[in-house]
Amino acid sequence: MALKIVIKEGAGSAPPYEQVRTQIAEQARGGGLPVGYKLPTVRGLAETLGLAANTVAKAYRALEEDGVIETRGRHGTFVAAARDAAARGAAAAAQTFAEQARRLGLTEPEALAAAQEALRAAYATRP
């Protein structure tokens, strides 16, 4: 298995860092990059893609914040157990939402309806 990233340029294309972030995240979550897969260095990937090192570093930072990758100091950057991180993040967001809805005085059905509407709106706008 190998990392595959294609940067599209031109009008309507996402910024390069977002393309890098999205493609690595999709490959990690889809199983194309297994947990523990060692990613190229920031400089190495930047050179391969013809991008500035800061662009790749920005993508790696976002991926690390999302729990998709983890940096192990001098040992490198690796694909993390992204599904676990995503599930933990979703559970934390749901807990925060539930607490806020209760503080606002919403009933459980009202809170559930608000969450469902937000999910419908978020998923309707996905590419």
pLDDT of residue 87 exceeding 80, the answer is: no
Q: How confident is the model at residue 31 (pLDDT cuts 50, 70, 90)?
A: confident
pLDDT of residue 27 exceeding 70, the answer is: yes
Which pLDDT value is given to residue 61? 96
Which pLDDT value is given to residue 127? 56
CA dist., res. 96 & res. 119, Å (int): 15
pLDDT of residue 83 exceeding 70, the answer is: no
> What does the pLDDT average to over 39-67?
95
Q: In terms of pTM, does the model score above 0.85?
A: no
3-state helix, strand, coil in the chain (%, to 5): 60, 5, 35
